A and B are shown apart, each in its own frame.
Chain A
Amino acid sequence: MKKRIISVMLIAAMTFSLFSACGKQENENASSSRETITVLNYGKYLDEDALRTFEEETGITVKYEEYESPEEMYTKYKSGSIDYDVICTSEYMIERLIQENEVNEINFSAFQNYDNVDPTIIDFCGSFDPEHKYTLPYFYGTVGILYNKTMVDESEVQSWDVLWDKKYKNEIIQENSVRDAFMPALSKLGYSINTTDPSELREALDLLIEQKPLVYAYMVDETGDEMIAGNAALAVLYSGEAAYAMDFNDDLAYSVPKEGSNIWIDAWFIPKSCTNQSGAQKFLDFLCRDDIAMLNFDYVYYTSPMLSVLQDQDEDVRNDEVINPSKETLERCEVYKALSEKDSTYYSNLWQELKSTQ
């Protein structure tokens, strides 16, 4: 009996301490009248020093959260459990959210540093934000082939065909996300990377099934590391990741095949759930500032749409085709368009069919 009383008391004490802890936290939040913004961004996509500087300069507390894939971001945002004030994600996902009327307009005239954004890239953003009123580009780049010069000749990687070359069996790393995996097959066939024509997609799927025995692995984040370790000869990946990998292994080089490819743009937007519009705008304006843009470029090492970054870069970085793709490379690239729910389901069904084929 005694034991039971003690256990009841213990449970009561534990429950009480739990609640009291919660209460305390709420009190703290209420008593401090500090402004806050909640930021949602890709993982490892912003230098934390920038956040600290922003907090010091403006007195606005930043709650910072990260995610891995745009689809995951969408699920997180749609669940509605947290009111995000500003989100960074890929262009096709922003387009979808704009269509769903989930995005607030940004008042760029209140910005001090908007002039710093490269007009060419703002033009590219027109494909998903025609009136340029919802989005601020953050980083962009291409998708191409990272190859190991000791195993593959430069002349071979000018075409996507090399990914179907039987002599590279077990040496190819494919992208482990639906659209990036279909993109090389569609480009090789000469179709638009935004096609929704079922028969064209079927054809691409057949090509990918034919390619599967040659594939070493389907990966996203680990591709760079595998290439650095020399575990594969060829990999489809983003230019930013390629630049990172090439820094560690001099045998690696990058090419955007002649058939064309994808230019991706990651951009910031202010979602409808925003509770602090002015704080969010201050944050975006802050990201366009010369020193902060440079800080983030050094940290992320993707192509920055900020003009000041191009100026402040070292000569060899500025002339590096991987970091700063040439105009003609960009000309043969296409931006992903958002897919309707029906088409996107069709894509993922084909994708699963590919994955389940033995």
Chain B
Amino acid sequence: MNNLKKQLLAGPYLIWIIGFIVLPMIMIMIYAFTNADGAFSLEYLSAITTTTNLNAIALSLKLGFLATLICLVLSYPLAMILSSFNFKHQNFVVFIFMLPMWMNFLLRIMAWKLLLSKNGVFNSVLHTLGLGSFNILYSPTAVILGMVYDYLPFMLLPIYNSMVRIRKDIIEAAQDLGANNITVFFKIIVPLTLSGVVSGIVMVFVPALTSFAVSDILGGGKVLLVGNVIEQDFMQGMQWNAGSALSFVLMIFVFISMALVNQFDKDGEGTAKW
């Protein structure tokens, strides 16, 4: 009786999942495995080995990897500092890091464009100081910058969450037994925050890999990621099969990343707190 009620309550969500997640995925699969006439064909799946697509995939993986690495290097020490703060307003500091996420991310990327452009804010300041100018807008560097800026909170929060959960007595016990700070860091802090790090990596890497808006705006149309190829296939070329095949390949990458999280983060600890 109780079970039935529970299932009924899940009804609306079930309809949502089927209608907006499962069905579209099936449709993408169908498009990916057929040709323009609707017959079964591996033509478009095998087309991912063209130089264009391989270049785009390689570049996406490269930029995604670099953005993730930079996020990790920035977030880990920051999370350590934040979690070691012993004052009442710790939550407030975390809140400040979350704050930018409340604004539309496209707006924030547009703002970067204004900051970085040739006669933009940064260059005007540099110019007044007589320091010359720098031009990174419309290059892969600018795209990485945009990704890091956008996805940093996704890395910071899981690591921070796993860090504040480490109990002080464990560290004290280790120190009592003669461990120095370096040993404590590698033997206790790193292993206990690993699940947070992994979910952080996935939460940055997956959107970075599939993004197309950042590369469109900050790449000036010169940086072609897989997301851009898919977008063009659908919106401009009317090549739905080719676009679906690429999406399918991208999905495989995403599934691999998800499997990786499950391996490390069995009960979803990393994301539990938010």
* Residues from 44 to 65 in B contacting A, C-beta threshold 8 Å: 51-53, 55-56, 59
Do residues B220 and A348 form an inter-chain contact, with CB atoms below 8 A? no
Q: How far is the CA of A215 from the CA of B137 in the complex (A)?
A: 12
Q: Known: A212-B222, A219-B220, A355-B224. Contact between A345 and B237, CB under 8 A?
A: yes
Q: Select one of A218, A229, A344 contacting B119, CB under 8 A.
A: A229
Interface 9-mer from B99-107, B190-198, B227-235:
B227-235
Report the minimal beta-carbon distance from A341 to chain B, rounded to whole angstroms.
Answer: 8
Q: Is there an interface contact between A178 and B138, defined as CB atoms closer than 8 Å?
A: no
State whether B222 touches A348 (Cβ < 8 A).
Answer: no
Check B236–A217 contact: CB distance below 8 A.
no
Complex alpha-carbon distance, A174 and B222, angstroms: 10
Could you tell me the distance between the alpha carbons of A216 and B224 in the complex, rounded to whole angstroms? Answer: 15
B52 pairs with A349, CB closer than 8 A: yes
Nearest CB of chain B from residue A172's CB, rounded to whole Å: 11
Contact (Cβ within 8 A) B220 A358: no
Confirm or deny: A17 has a beta carbon within 8 angstroms of a beta carbon on chain B: no
Whether, in the assembled complex, A72 has its beta carbon less than 8 Å from a beta carbon of chain B, the answer is yes
- A-B contacts, 26 of them at CB < 8 A, read A11-B9, A69-B235, A71-B237, A75-B234, A212-B222, A215-B222, A216-B220, A217-B138, A217-B221, A226-B117, A229-B118, A229-B119, A232-B118, A341-B238, A344-B238, A348-B236, A352-B224, A352-B229, A353-B51, A355-B52, A355-B224, A356-B55, A356-B59, A357-B55, A358-B55, A358-B59
Q: If A231-B117, A352-B52, A355-B228 touch, does A71 touch B238 (CB 8 Å cutoff)?
A: yes
Which 4 residue pairs of A and B lie closest in terms of their CB atoms, listed nearest first?
Answer: A217-B220, A218-B221, A348-B237, A356-B55
Q: Are B238 and A218 in contact (CB under 8 A)?
A: no
B244 vs chain A, min Cβ distance (A): 14
Q: Could you tell me if A74 and B222 are in contact, using CB atoms closer than 8 angstroms?
A: no
Inter-chain contact B56/A356, CB cutoff 8 Å: yes
Of all chain B residues, which has the CB nearest A181? B221
Q: Which residues of B contact A170 (CB under 8 A)?
A: 135
Whole-angstrom distance between the Cβ of A168 and the nearest chain B Cβ:
13
Chain A interface residues toward B at CB < 8 A: 4, 7-8, 11, 15, 69, 71-72, 74-75, 170, 174, 176-178, 212, 215-219, 226, 229-232, 341, 344-345, 348-349, 351-353, 355-358
Interface residue tally of chain B, by bracket? 20 to 34
Residue numbers in A under 8 Å from B56 (CB-CB):
352, 356
Is there a chain A Cβ closer than 8 Å to B165's Cβ?
A: no
Q: Which residues of A contact B228 (CB under 8 A)?
A: 355
Contacts of A358 on B, CB cut-off 8 Å?
Answer: 55, 59
Interface string of B229-264 (1 = CB under 8 A from A): 100101111110000000000000000000000000
Q: Cα distance A217–B138 when bound, in Å?
A: 6
B51 to chain A, nearest CB (A): 7
- Does A11 lie within 8 Å of B222, measured CB to CB? no
Q: Which residues of B contact A74 (CB under 8 A)?
A: 238
Smallest beta-carbon distance A40→chain B, Å: 16
Give the complex CA separation of A40 and B183 in angstroms: 67
Measured in the bound complex, the distance between the Cα atoms of B220 and A217 in whole Å is 4
Q: Judging by beta carbons under 8 Å apart, are B235 and A72 in contact? A: yes
Contacts A177-B236, A348-B232, A349-B52 supplied; 6 other A-B pairs, CB < 8 Å:
A11-B12, A72-B235, A75-B238, A215-B222, A341-B238, A356-B56
Closest residue of B by beta carbon distance from A232: B118
The answer, yes or no, to whether B5 is at the interface (CB within 8 Å) is yes
Within the complex, the shortest CB–CB distance from A73 to chain B, in Å, comes to: 11
B259 to chain A, nearest CB (A): 29
| Nearest B residue (CB) for A217 | B220
Shortest Cβ distance from A95 into chain B, in angstroms?
Answer: 15
B90-128 near A? 1/0 per residue, CB < 8 Å: 000000000000000000000000000111000000000
The answer for the CA separation of A210 and B41 in the assembled complex, in Å, is 36
Q: A217-B138, A231-B118, A356-B55 are in contact. Are A4 and B236 (CB under 8 A)?
A: no
Contacts of B119 in A (CB 8 A): 229-231
